[in-house]
């Protein structure tokens, strides 16, 4: 495992509250060692991963629990977009007889209620998974100030779930997203899709956070996972 730090400066210049998600989706595709023809993607959103697929495919199955996102995802004769919760038995039953060259997932699986169960079922339908997940160290300073616990999985929990069924390569990266002022920083927290529990803060804790948060950046820790053999 290697650990890197990367900065993305001046987030307020982007009219998008998902800039980190876009960066890691692009990185996920860029780091693929092959050009798979039959792909399953979990947590497809509006197509952040698919939009970087620049080779011919035979079939692409894209899954997301949000019907609005599914409507926005690109579609054609080779792309099937389904509205599913990837934790659900309905989804797992739908794919149990499938076979894929690879399963991709970007900034989604950290929300799973039972990641080990998903990875076990994916091991039946593919030999290779490339995924990137946010870890519970995202917004770590906010959690420390407000004495709150992250709602997403820890790095160790993620590694354990994947390592039960695959030999894996892990790489952890801390992105630090810089802002010109505190107002823009806190607006990003409010509107971004990765909350360290801050959206649930009461007025007293929110005021304390605004007063004591002394950094000009937000922390986003992500773990990149590549499986290379099944156990």
Asked if residues 178 and 10 have their Cβ atoms less than 8 Å apart, the reply is: yes
Q: How many CA atoms lie within 13 A of 140 on its CB side?
A: 15
Average per-residue pLDDT for the chain: 89
pLDDT in tens, 37-57: 999 999 999 999 999 999 999
- The pLDDT assigned to 14 comes to 39
- The pLDDT assigned to 192 comes to 64
pLDDT in tens, 155-189: 999 999 999 999 999 999 999 999 999 888 888 87
Please name each of the domains of the chain with its CATH number. Answer: 2-230 (3.40.50.150)
pLDDT in tens, 196-212: 444 556 788 788 888 99
Residue 126 has pLDDT above 50, yes or no: yes
Question: What is the Cα–Cα distance from 96 to 88, expressed in whole angstroms?
Answer: 13
86: phi then psi, degrees, rounded to nearest 5: -70, -10
Q: Which residues contact 139 (CB under 8 A, 6 or more apart)?
A: 150, 189, 194, 195, 196, 197, 198, 218, 219, 220
- The pLDDT assigned to 94 comes to 95
- The pLDDT assigned to 7 comes to 58
- The pLDDT assigned to 203 comes to 80
pLDDT in tens, 106-122: 999 999 999 999 999 99
Asked if residues 80 and 62 have their Cβ atoms less than 8 Å apart, the reply is: yes
- The pLDDT assigned to 202 comes to 74
């Amino acid at each position: 495992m290697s650990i890197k730090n990367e900065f993305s400066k001046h987030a307020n210049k982007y009219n998008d509250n998902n800039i980190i998600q876009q960066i890691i989706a692009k990185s996920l595709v860029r780091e693929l060692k092959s050009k798979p023809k039959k792909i399953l993607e979990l947590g497809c959103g509006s197509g952040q991963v698919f939009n970087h697929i620049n080779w011919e495919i035979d079939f692409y199955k894209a899954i997301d629990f949000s019907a609005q996102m599914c409507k926005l995802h690109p579609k054609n004769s080779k792309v099937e977009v389904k509205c599913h919760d990837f934790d659900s038995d309905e989804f797992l039953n739908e794919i149990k007889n499938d076979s894929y060259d690879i399963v991709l997932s970007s900034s989604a699986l950290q929300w799973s209620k039972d990641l080990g169960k998903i990875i076990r079922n994916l091991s039946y339908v593919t030999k290779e998974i490339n995924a990137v997940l946010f870890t519970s160290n995202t917004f770590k300073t906010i959690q420390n100030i407000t004495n709150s616990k992250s709602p997403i999985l820890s790095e160790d929990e993620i590694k354990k779930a994947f390592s039960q069924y695959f030999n894996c390569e892990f790489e952890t990266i801390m992105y630090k997203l810089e802002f010109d002022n505190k107002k823009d920083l806190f607006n990003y927290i409010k509107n971004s899709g990765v909350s360290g529990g801050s959206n649930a803060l009461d007025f007293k804790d929110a005021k304390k956070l605004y007063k004591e948060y002394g950094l000009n950046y937000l922390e986003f820790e992500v773990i990149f996972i590549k499986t290379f053999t099944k156990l």
